[in-house]
Structure 1
Amino acid sequence: MLLRENLREHPAAQAWLATGPNRVAPKMIAVFKGWNQSEKSGVYRLAGVGPGGSAVIAKRCPLHTAAVERSIYEEFLPYLPLPSVGYYGSVEEPDGRSQWLFLEEAEGDLYSPQNNEHRAVAARWLAAAHNTSRRLGREMRLPDRGPKQYLQLMRSLRAKMLEHFTNPDLPSGGVAVLQTVVEQCDVLEGHWSEIEQICDGMPRTLVHGDFVVRNLRLRPSADGPVLLVFDWEFAGWGVPSTDLAQHSGYTASPDLAVYRVCLADWPMLSNKAQVESLAACGRFFRLLDELAWASMGLMYGRPDNLVNPIGNCSACGQRMAQALSEAGWITHS
């Protein structure tokens, strides 16, 4: 949706003008995702307000996720020895429940996990981010993204699925989908000690938490493509596993061999098997995140609102079945 009239009255424009005395009103506002308190965020493109008349992305987030993103843009990315998305400030809404973040528009080529050069660039970026975050040590400022947090997420997810077994508005086959996911969670919990053993002793560092195609762009440069990474609302601190997940949905699937070479001075990531095992754990963590996001729609009781969440749970369940089978924990036909 494009807005061309009464732009100064729009909340995104008002917040942008409040960030400094020399700000100008947008020439046009594109609504990428409208703000809704039940959603994760609202995203708008403000045309002509940035440096040189460039566009600025205005993102409205709940306070708790805005705090995470702000800490990344203000306290981490300025120290990363690589180009990053520009940050133009933040403004809290009068409601006291949300905050605006203003960011450079990440223009560039779309990322493809089928492109080996792209995967190598992603691996080098992750290695630089992990080295920088370990040096800075921001653990206390970020949510936990380790095995303990994911075990809690899995148990919460399973409980929610069980609650909806008796929901009369589920579409045909809906109960079977939820039952499959519950059984997969049972299997995964039965092997959780193996996941913890793999992660135990691994270095803890920054985790993006949603390192997927839609949150990456490649900007051309004289030295080759530069990776721009954005949408940090799920960032946290934990073992570097989730962002290493391979070929699950739309994950970036960074080149693990390149990543390992870039972190050759990390003894705990010194061999191929260690890094591959960590990425396999990350695949399970990523799938649990996807299932949790898919299950959010189950809170709505109208039958037409349940079709997509059940379909998304089914798709995630199929990927989980593949991952469990490759781990040797189930027989997948």
Structure 2
Amino acid sequence: MGKPLTNETVTGSPAEHPAVKAWCQLQHTWNEPQRVEILRLKRKSAVFRLEGVGPGGTVIIAKRCPATTARVERVIYDEILARVPVPSLHCHGFLEEPDSELCWLFLEEARGVMYSPQRGDHRALAARWLGTVHCASLSAELKALLPDRGPAHHLGLLRSSRTTLREHLADNSSLPGEDDALLRRIVECCDVMESRWAELQTICEVLPHTVVHGDFVIKNVRIKDAPAGPALLVFDWELGGRGAPAVDLAQFVGLTVSPDLAVHGSVLKRVYPHLDVPDIQRAAEWGNLLRLVDEMYWATLLMQFGRYELVLKPILTLRLYEPGLVAGLQAIAGSEHD
């Protein structure tokens, strides 16, 4: 989703910052903060880097976000990733704000180098990490704590996006002809995709039903050096949930991690011997489309009526991803004959 809006250092006494005060409420003892850096600042969410306040003077990442989102992230870090043999970040606590729907979530900082989907070793590392996580079974209790991120979730996003596009086609007189034609083509893509939705459901029945990241892109992963070799760190699980993880397998759609599908399949086969690489590839083809549905949905949320400037940015985004929608639909149509 959106990139950080700023990387500024907060002026004034770091100890007086709300993030530091919230952190101190969770600690019996704490270190004096050296600096507070703003990583993201939005109306209903914010992320701060608290330098020096963690154990041994380490950095703590403080996220202020809706409590419903933070609860999901905490479950994933504490109850799922902590029990799977993969590198993962430590969750240092969760604090609800009184009389508010917001809360604070405190996490270990993900330190390491940026991930590159152009590097085969990075893609293989991501595939092994993801495959190991996908092999972990979820109890009924854990599933109940996670939102559905399966086909029904994305079908809802698809229909919501299409409704918004149709509303603008019907009532937005500011749209020039080329944009009107673009929206009509995307609506047609939505119709075709929904007509084939049963195929996605069939594919998802074959895949393990497990934890889904939902925004598995390069900005949400790092690679750190570890004694046993490079280790993948995955964070920002705010769109996480449960379901068949096709969307996390998307290949080279925007800035997706694009894990190596052959490596991922070899890991899954240890626990799911019925799965073959072609099954994973078909799931990834649909994952490409699901990722584009996400992008389309986020763009349509920003569309407003009135001046053309109010729809320009989302339309530019839709124009960027329309060729991918067409190519994705052609890919799943072609896979029928393989």
TM-score, normalised relative to structure 2: 0.89
Aligned 8 A contact 1:27 1:47 in 2: yes
- Structure 2 CA distance, aligned partners of 1:52 and 1:27? 13
Letter in 2 for 1:179: R
Superposition deviation, residue 299 in structure 1: 4.3
Match of 1:96 in 2: 100
Misfit runs of 4+, over 6 Å: none
- Percentage of identical aligned residues: 42
SS of residue paired to 1:59:
strand
| Residue in structure 1 matching 2:320, options 315, 319, 324 | 315
**Partner amino acid, structure 1, of 2:54:** G
Supply the RMSD in Å over aligned alpha carbons: 2.1
Read off the aligned partner of 1:6 and give its amino acid letter.
S
SS of residue paired to 2:253? coil
Output aligned runs, 1:26-105, within 5 Å: 26-37=33-44, 41-105=45-109
Q: Which runs of 5+ in 1 are unaligned?
A: none
Q: Say whether 1:223 aligns with 2:223.
A: no
Gap change, CA 1:248 and 1:279, over 3 Å in 2: same
Q: How far off is 1:11 after superposition?
A: 2.0
Give the direction of change, closer, same or farther, for the CA distance of 1:221–1:24 in structure 2 (3 Å limit). closer
Identify which of 10, 23, 29 aligns with 2:17. 10
Q: Which amino acid aligns with 1:5?
A: G
Residue 295 of structure 1 is matched in structure 2 by: 300
Equivalent AA in structure 2 for residue 13 of structure 1: V
Q: 1:269 to 1:46 in 2, by over 3 A?
A: farther
Query: Would the alpha carbon gap of residues 170 and 16 (structure 1) be closer, same or farther in structure 2, given more than 3 Å must change?
Result: farther
**How far apart, in 1, do the equivalents of 2:9 and 2:178 lie?**
39
* Greater mean deviation of Cα atoms: 21-30 or 282-291: 21-30
TM-score (norm 1): 0.91
Q: Contact between 1:213 and 1:251, CA under 8 Å: does it hold in 2?
A: yes
SS at match of 1:185: helix
CA separation of 1:53 and 1:269: change in aligned 2, threshold 3 A: farther
Residues 302 and 10 (structure 1 numbering): CA distance in 2 closer, same or farther, change over 3 Å?
farther
Residues 17 and 25 in structure 1, CA contact (< 8 A), matched pair in contact too: no
For 1:46, the aligned partner's letter is L
1-structure distance, mates of 2:311, 2:225: 42
- Paired position in structure 1 for 2:125: 121
* Map 1:278-289 → 2, pairs under 5 A: 278-289=283-294
CA displacement at 1:74 relative to structure 2: 2.0
1:242-253 alignment, distance < 5 Å: 242-253=247-258
Cα distance change, pair 155–93 in 1 and its aligned pair in 2 (3 A): same
1:120-269 equivalences in 2 (<5 Å): 120-134=124-138, 138-165=142-169, 166-170=171-175, 173-267=178-272, 269=274
Q: 1:108 aligns to what? A: 112
Partner in structure 1 of residue 332 of structure 2: 327
Decide whether the 8 Å contact of 1:3 with 1:28 is kept in 2.
yes
Q: CA separation in 1, counterparts of 2:304 and 2:57? A: 42
How far, CA to CA, are the matches of 1:212 and 1:269 in structure 2? 28
User: Aligned to 1:203, what secondary structure does the other structure show?
Assistant: coil
Deviations 1:204-263 (A, max 9, x none): 111111111000000012322100000001111111211111111111111111111112
Report the Cα distance in structure 1 between the residues aligned to 2:100 and 2:308, rounded to whole angstroms: 34
Shift of 1:69: 0.7
**Unaligned 5+ residue runs, structure 2?**
1-7
Structure 1 residues 268, 140: CA separation in 2 closer, same or farther (over 3 Å shift)? farther
Q: CA deviation at 1:25?
A: 4.2
Change (3 A) 1:269 1:62: farther
- Alignment size in residue pairs: 326
